[in-house]
Amino acid sequence: MSFPVRSVLGASRSPLLRGSLSVRLSSTAAKQTTLKERLAELIPIQQENVKRIRAEHGKKSFGPVLVDQVYGGMRGLPALIWDGSVLDADEGIRFRGKSIPECQDLLPKAAGGSEPLPEGLFWLLVTGEIPTQEQVSQLSQDWAARAAIPEFVEEILDRCPPSLHPMSQFSLAVTALNHNSAFAKAYQDGISKKDYWGPTFEDSMDLIAKLPNIAGRIYRNVFGQGKLPAIDSTKDYSHNLASLLGFAEDPAFVELLRLYITIHSDHEGGNVSAHTGKLVGSALSDPFLAYAAALNGLAGPLHGLANQEVLIWLRKMQSKLGENPSDDAVKEYIWSTLKGGQVVPGYGHAVLRKTDPRYTAQRTFALKHLPEDPLFKLVGQIYNLVPDILLEAGKAKNPWPNVDAHSGVLLTHYGLTQMQFYTVLFGVSRAFGVAAQLIWDRALGAPLERPKSYSSAAIDQIFRDKQ
């Protein structure tokens, strides 16, 4: 199904993006404002911008809706607004107009590091601007100060059976954080609609800040890795997360986490997790409830759980074919997956039609840090074989690898071998995009989402009547 509006939405220099903060506002690098202060300056400007766009174009048609799209998971249907990131089918994701290599180049780094600090990416997603080193340090400190989780949430996690999937535990704990939601309290106290964004911002900051303690506790409980260390308020977010998982001694792993969180943070508004967060948030459920719902979507095998599925698939392949399988043996294994009615995990995408630049960023990291890793070599071998096979099979619209084809191999290399945990790390990262979106939705007064559903009989009747 081809749909012209998708290319307009996907283009990084599209009229839609040109009207957004990312291009209109210049960086305020010299001014050491906090993120919340800067946001307070930007919100009225963007409110006016949206008002103008709606006044000028509000009654114009924005492309046709095909019946196939209504049945086909709404692919390409223009239905959502999110300025934070835009996904182009060919060139991949841009965060506020910046590609992954541009973010790697422009965003502040840790001392001695070369990957971007996710704190900077969050600042970029929220403001459209590149923060200074000092502004990023402020965020690291703020998140470290907010990182503790309530004791009853620790108890919930400690009581979960280790057989409960880490993503279910993650979602339970995030839901329970709603106990202390500033937004839920303010709403009960009668907050005015124009002030919604303030407590949403506070909850969003708390949410992001508390995720390492939740993820670390799940990891250590489920996989028996001993007691959690304390958060170090002098370290950045990724360093603290690595430390809670027990991997902070390895600077390359910490660098990997910085890159990992940055590239997994956001993938425009329509993917299952981002859209679920926005949808649930539109009912004015607070950011904890909205993000827990998003996590439940991320936990599906066609979305975030694919990173676990890839490793399971690779391990099964290795145990069947041995360490250095021939191309022919690997091809046969791939065909047997397809003939068994299963998908090749880590390949294909609902929007992308080329190799995912998030895959490429991870491959570049692997070539730098672990070029001789046997599993990395297998991933490279599969990359050379799967696309032709998917093309020959003739169903997948995109035969190229996505982000999940690579991430597990990198984590495995550094000793984080428990694949059931991988989607939790995706979940920590995706909070950055969903939180930024929730803040802006409340600032711009996004309404309750309520699209129209039709019965098949009604669709049939509408087009019979037109004949």
Size of the site for ligand FAM (CB under 6 A): 21
Told to check if 397 binds ligand FAM by CB under 6 A, we report yes
Q: Which of 349, 406, 413, 441 is catalytic?
A: 349
What does the alpha-carbon distance between residue 373 and residue 396 come to, in Å, rounded to a whole number?
29
Secondary structure of 387-437 as H, E, C letters: HHHHHHHCCCCCCCECCHHHHHHHHHHCCCCCHHHHHHHHHHHHHHHHHHH
Kindly tell me which residue out of 396, 410, 424, 446 binds ligand FAM, with binding defined by CB under 6 A.
396
What does the alpha-carbon distance between residue 376 and residue 56 come to, in Å, rounded to a whole number?
52
Told to check if 419 binds ligand FAM by CB under 6 A, we report no
Kindly tell me which residue out of 9, 403, 410, 424 binds ligand FAM, with binding defined by CB under 6 A.
403
Q: Which is nearer to ligand FAM, 304 or 408 (CB)?
A: 304
Instruction: List phi, psi (to 5°) of 127.
Output: -110, -20
Q: Which is nearer to ligand FAM, 203 or 404 (CB)?
A: 404
Q: Which of 165, 264, 275, 303 is catalytic?
A: 303
Q: Which is nearer to ligand FAM, 254 or 390 (CB)?
A: 390
The contact mask relative to ligand FAM for 271-290 (x = CB under 6 A, - = no) is: x-------------------
Kindly tell me which residue out of 45, 145, 302, 462 binds ligand FAM, with binding defined by CB under 6 A.
302
Are 195 and 162 a contacting pair, CB within 8 Å? no
Told to check if 167 binds ligand FAM by CB under 6 A, we report no
Told to check if 408 binds ligand FAM by CB under 6 A, we report no
Told to check if 395 binds ligand FAM by CB under 6 A, we report yes
DSSP category for residue 87: E
Burial (Cβ within 10 Å: 0-12, 13-18, ≥19) of residue 80: middle
Are 310 and 179 a contacting pair, CB within 8 Å? no
Q: Which is nearer to ligand FAM, 52 or 395 (CB)?
A: 395
Q: Which is nearer to ligand FAM, 257 or 305 (CB)?
A: 305
Instruction: List phi, psi (to 5°) of 370.
Output: -145, 50
Report how far apart, in Å, the C-alpha atoms of 53 and of each of 57, 125, 193, 434 are: 6, 21, 21, 24
Here the tokens at position 231 are 């958060």
Are 298 and 463 a contacting pair, CB within 8 Å? no
| Residues 378-387: b if buried by 16+ CB within 10 A, e if exposed | bbeebbeebb
Told to check if 349 binds ligand FAM by CB under 6 A, we report yes
Please confirm, yes or no, whether 239 is among the known catalytic residues.
no
Please confirm, yes or no, whether 57 is among the known catalytic residues.
no
Told to check if 379 binds ligand FAM by CB under 6 A, we report no
Are 32 and 134 a contacting pair, CB within 8 Å? yes
Q: Which of 142, 206, 236, 404 is catalytic?
A: 404
Told to check if 306 binds ligand FAM by CB under 6 A, we report yes
Kindly tell me which residue out of 398, 412, 423, 437 binds ligand FAM, with binding defined by CB under 6 A.
398
Kindly tell me which residue out of 84, 116, 304, 357 binds ligand FAM, with binding defined by CB under 6 A.
304
Contact region with ligand FAM (CB under 6 A), list: 63-71, 79-87, 343-351, 436-444:
343-351
Q: Which is nearer to ligand FAM, 136 or 298 (CB)?
A: 298
Give 181-220 as a DSSP string: -HHHHHHHTT--GGGTHHHHHHHHHHHHHHHHHHHHHHHH
Told to check if 350 binds ligand FAM by CB under 6 A, we report yes
Please confirm, yes or no, whether 303 is among the known catalytic residues.
yes
Residue 356 beta carbon to ligand FAM: minimum distance, rounded to whole angstroms: 7
Question: Which residues are CB-neighbours of 170 under 8 A, at least 6 positions away?
Answer: 214, 215, 218, 295, 424, 427
Contact region with ligand FAM (CB under 6 A), list: 97-105, 229-237, 297-305, 377-385:
297-305
Residue 322 beta carbon to ligand FAM: minimum distance, rounded to whole angstroms: 24
Told to check if 348 binds ligand FAM by CB under 6 A, we report yes
Told to check if 361 binds ligand FAM by CB under 6 A, we report no
Are 205 and 142 a contacting pair, CB within 8 Å? yes
Residue 346 beta carbon to ligand FAM: minimum distance, rounded to whole angstroms: 5
Here the tokens at position 244 are 């809670």
Nearest to 127 by CA among 195, 43, 49, 62: 43
Contact region with ligand FAM (CB under 6 A), list: 125-133, 254-262, 340-348, 360-368:
340-348
Instruction: Classify residue 130 as left (phi > 0), alpha (psi -120 to 50) or beta.
Output: beta
Told to check if 402 binds ligand FAM by CB under 6 A, we report yes
Told to check if 353 binds ligand FAM by CB under 6 A, we report no
Told to check if 343 binds ligand FAM by CB under 6 A, we report yes
Catalytic residues: 303, 349, 404
| Footprint on this chain of ligand FAM (rule: CB under 6 A) | 271, 302-304, 306, 338, 343-350, 395-398, 402-404
